[in-house]
Amino acid sequence: MVNSNVTIYTLPCLSDNYAYVVHNSASGTAAVVDVPESGPLVDKISELNVHVTDIFLTHHHWDHIDGLPDLQAALTGPLSQAPARVIGAKADAHRLPTLDQAVSPGDRLTLCGIEGDIYDVSGHTLGHLALHLPSAKAVFTADSLMAMGCGRLFEGSAAQMWHSLQQLRALPQDTWVYSGHEYTASNMAFTQSLDEDNPAIAARAAQITEDRAAGRPTVPSLLALEMQTNPFLRADDPALQAAVGMAGATAEQVFTEIRARKDKF
């Protein structure tokens, strides 16, 4: 059942990051996903006049966590709230801020009255988590699955990232993907460089160009659309394999090749 009481706000941060506020109007509470900087989050929380119960951190990179101390200070200071519970990966606790709850893949937790499921989406980093909120038709993927792309492999392997993406593409197709950066235009250009005859890619490219020209975020994106147009989700698609000259190769081989091409693009 879809939870009509949930609204998710996409907040641009830094130069190209996103943070999220998940607002549950039924409980009058909210959760935050990632804290690149505190200002946009504090402004939105103040505007909503909502109590933040939880802060979920997807991974340890500075541009997803550095705003946490200032956000915590604002919540317990000017906003006069009780401290929010900080949640992150148990496997990554040694390099995350102090956690109030350490979670592992397969765990189910409740944030601001909404149930969520935890996935290991290692590849970009080891211990990277995704948070799926089934009743909100939302998954927060940060730097694993991105709009028309996936994160660079800083710590994990191509095999790990391909496994992570297979988990995410198995979610319901009407799930909205809330990723960590506004990289969609560059991801689109790379996808077009693969020279695949795919009408869905051409149509999406036109929409991305229009959205960015108008200053609109291209995130979130619908998983069904990612399945049609994101090459990193389609490494086992014969049409893409043929387009990149790898007909008959394994999906992992194709994924490894296109990730290497993107690194040099």
CATH, residue 32: 3.60.15.10
Does residue 1 sit within a domain?
no
The parent domain of residue 60 ranges over 6-264
Consult the annotation and say whether 54 binds a ligand.
no
How many structural domains compose the chain? 1
Does residue 163 sit within a domain?
yes
Cα dihedral 137, 19, 256, 160 sign: negative
Consult the annotation and say whether 64 binds a ligand.
yes
Consult the annotation and say whether 124 binds a ligand.
yes
Query: What pLDDT is stored for residue 1 in this prediction?
Result: 58
Q: What is the 3-state secondary structure (H, E, C) of the chain?
A: CCCCCEEEEEEEECCCEEEEEEEECCCCEEEEECCCCCHHHHHHHHHHCCEEEEEECCCCCHHHHCCHHHHHHHHHCCCCCCCCEEEEEHHHHHHCCCCCEEECCCCEEEECCEEEEEEECCCCCCCCEEEEEHHHCEEEEECCEECCEECCCCCCCHHHHHHHHHHHHCCCCCCEEEECECCHHHHHHHHHHCCCCCHHHHHHHHHHHHHHHCCCCCCCEEHHHHHHHCHHHCCCCHHHHHHCCCCCCCHHHHHHHHHHHHHHC
Consult the annotation and say whether 63 binds a ligand.
yes
Full pLDDT tens readout for the chain, 265 residues: 567 899 999 999 999 999 999 999 999 999 999 999 999 999 999 999 999 999 999 999 999 999 999 999 999 999 999 999 999 999 999 999 999 999 999 999 999 999 999 999 999 999 999 999 999 999 999 999 999 999 999 999 999 999 999 999 999 999 999 999 999 999 999 999 998 889 999 999 999 999 999 999 999 999 999 999 999 999 999 999 999 999 999 999 999 999 999 999 9
Consult the annotation and say whether 132 binds a ligand.
no
| Cα angle 66, 153, 131; round to 5 | 55
Does residue 75 sit within a domain?
yes
